[in-house]
Amino acid sequence: MDSQHRHELQTNDLEEFITHFKEWWTKHGTNTLMGILIIVAVIFFMRWYSGREDRILNQAYGELAAAADPFAKTEVAGKYESIDGFASIARLQAADMLLRQAIGVIPTPNSDDAPAGEERTNMLNQAATLYERVTNSGATKLQVLNARFGLASVKESLGEFDAARDQYQKVQEEAGSDWPTLVAKAKRLEGDLAEIRRPVSFPEPPAAPAISAPDPATEGSINLSPDLTNIIPAAPAVPAAPEIPGEKPAPSN
């Protein structure tokens, strides 16, 4: 009797749950199903978007590696401006290449000779513009410090030593205790500026030896009778003829 009663109670509870669930589903089932579908869709979208970002980043670095000249690298930087930090990396590479070409470390695309004159100045100014953009574009601190080193090198190459010193001092201020190696490097390069600015002095050439004027009395004459006593040896003495026994020597005249 007790088991039958418990069975009836369980059956009634199940029927009551089903009845309430049907009522709840009628009221909220559609919204609940939509919520589940939205959550699943968001998960799939996040996975797809994350993979898309990785693909775009890989594509950007591939194009940067394939860019063979500073101007191509600058175009890649502008194309992927939305990727955090990437545009600054591309501009740093472009500026470094321009600087190295301008000072003759690597050849330019059109010539193996180092540029000179106005061409060299223009290349250095273009590199300076790229470095300055990195320092003013919200790049990472390490990227900014690298840009300041490059900008200081440009100023040295242009003979603007005070501007170069300013960049080295800013490196020391901004690097602080985070990058002591960069601080030491900036101090050393700042100290080298004094040697670079010192004018080069060349020793005075030795005085030319004095040349005496020729004697007018002997000018143009040629000595045709040199002293040959020390050159021609004396003739050797002729030895006397030996005496023959029993023969008298001939009387001398």
Residue pLDDT, tens place only, 73-102: 999 999 999 888 899 999 999 999 999 999
CA angle 116, 119, 125 (to 5 degrees): 115
Global confidence as pTM: 0.60
pLDDT for 117 beyond 70? yes
pLDDT at 200: 47
Tell me 233's DSSP state. Answer: P
Cβ atoms within 10 Å, residue 190: 18
pLDDT at 173: 95
* Cα 193 to Cα 30: distance, rounded to the nearest angstrom: 76
Please, which pLDDT band fits residue 52 given cuts at 50, 70 and 90?
confident
- Of 106, 151, 132, residue with least CA distance to 115: 106
172's CB contacts (< 8 A; 6+ apart) are: 183, 186, 187
- Note whether 108 and 98 are within 8 A (CB): no
Please, which pLDDT band fits residue 205 given cuts at 50, 70 and 90?
low
Please, which pLDDT band fits residue 204 given cuts at 50, 70 and 90?
low
* Cα 160 to Cα 87: distance, rounded to the nearest angstrom: 28
